[in-house]
Amino acid sequence: MGSPPHFYRFTGKILPWLSLLCALLIATGLWGGLVEAPADYQQGDSFRIIYVHVPSAWMSLFVYVVMAVCGAIGLIWHMKNAEVIAISSAPIGASFTFLALVTGSLWGKPMWGSWWVWDARLTSELILLFLYLGVIGLYAAIEDKRTASRAVAILALVGLVNIPIIHYSVEWWNTLHQGPTVTKFDKPSIHVSMLIPLLLMAGGFKLFYLISVLIRARGELIERESNSNWVSELLEKR
C-alpha cells in the first residue's frame, strides 16, 4: 500500500464495489428512516432529521481523527499516501461539519425555539468547522505540497484536542443540546425500529467518506507525481 502506483491501481479496482454498497446502505437507511420508522412520541416527524444530522456529526469527528492520524504518519514516516489522504479528508470533513450544523439548526428552531445558541456542544462543533477551513486554507497557501502537508499535519494535531471536547461537552457542562443516545455505555435510549435505519445511514456515510476520500486522493497523487514514470505510463495507456 506504501507506493503511490500500487495504491492507485488497487483503489481503482475497489471503488465501483464500494459505491454499490454505499448506495445500497443509504437507500435502505433513508427508506427505513423516512418511511418505515414510526414518528417520535414527542417530536413527531421532526425527529427524522437525526438520520442525516447524527451520521454527519459522527463523521465530522471521525474524519478529523483520520486526518490528524494520517498527518502524524506523514510527519513521522514521510509517507506520501498518508499525506495525500490527510489533505483529501479536509474538504469532506468540513462538508460533514457544515451539514451537521445546518441540519441541527433547522431542527433547533421548531424544537428548542432557537436557530442557534452558544452552548458548549454547538460552539465546539463550530470551532471544528473553522479548524477544517484553516487546514484547507493553510494547505493552499504553501506552494511546495510536501512542506504544506507537514504544516497542515501540525495544525490538525493541535486541533485534535477539540474532538474529545465536542464528544463530552454534553456531559461535562450544562448544555441545551441533549446527551448521547446511542454511544452511551448502557443500552441506547432509542427504540430499535428507529435505531436500525440510523445505523444503516451511519454505515452509508462512512462508505461515502471512504469513496470520496479515495477519489480525491487519486487525483491529488496524480497531480503531485505528474513527472514520474508511472503517471506517464498511465497516460500512454489511455
For other proteins, the binding residues (CB under 8 A) are 38-43, 47, 50, 72, 75-77, 110-114, 117-120, 154, 157-158, 160-161, 165, 172-176, 178-181, 189-191, 193-194
Residues 6 or more apart whose CB falls under 8 angstroms from that of 76 comprise none
Residues 6 or more apart whose CB falls under 8 angstroms from that of 235 comprise none
Shortest Å distance, C-beta 102 to other proteins: 18
Q: Which is nearer to other proteins, 19 or 181 (CB)?
A: 181
In degrees rounded to 5, what are phi and psi of residue 44?
Answer: 65, -140
Shortest Å distance, C-beta 61 to other proteins: 16
Q: Which is nearer to other proteins, 142 or 155 (CB)?
A: 155
* H/E segment holding residue 62: helix 50-77
Q: Which is nearer to other proteins, 43 or 228 (CB)?
A: 43
Residues 6 or more apart whose CB falls under 8 angstroms from that of 59 comprise 93, 96, 205, 206, 209
Question: In angstroms, how far is CA 13 from the centroid of its own chain?
Answer: 23
Q: Which is nearer to other proteins, 106 or 160 (CB)?
A: 160
Cβ burial of 40 (10 Å; 0-12, 13-18, 19+) is middle
Q: Which is nearer to other proteins, 194 or 211 (CB)?
A: 194
What's the full length of the chain, in residues? 238
- Contact at 8 Å (CB) between 63 and 96? yes
Shortest Å distance, C-beta 152 to other proteins: 14
Shortest Å distance, C-beta 230 to other proteins: 26
Q: Which is nearer to other proteins, 137 or 180 (CB)?
A: 180
Grid coordinates standing for 228?
A: 514520474
Question: What are the Cα distances from residue 225, in Å, to 113, 174, 220?
Answer: 52, 50, 9
Shortest Å distance, C-beta 110 to other proteins: 6
Shortest Å distance, C-beta 96 to other proteins: 21
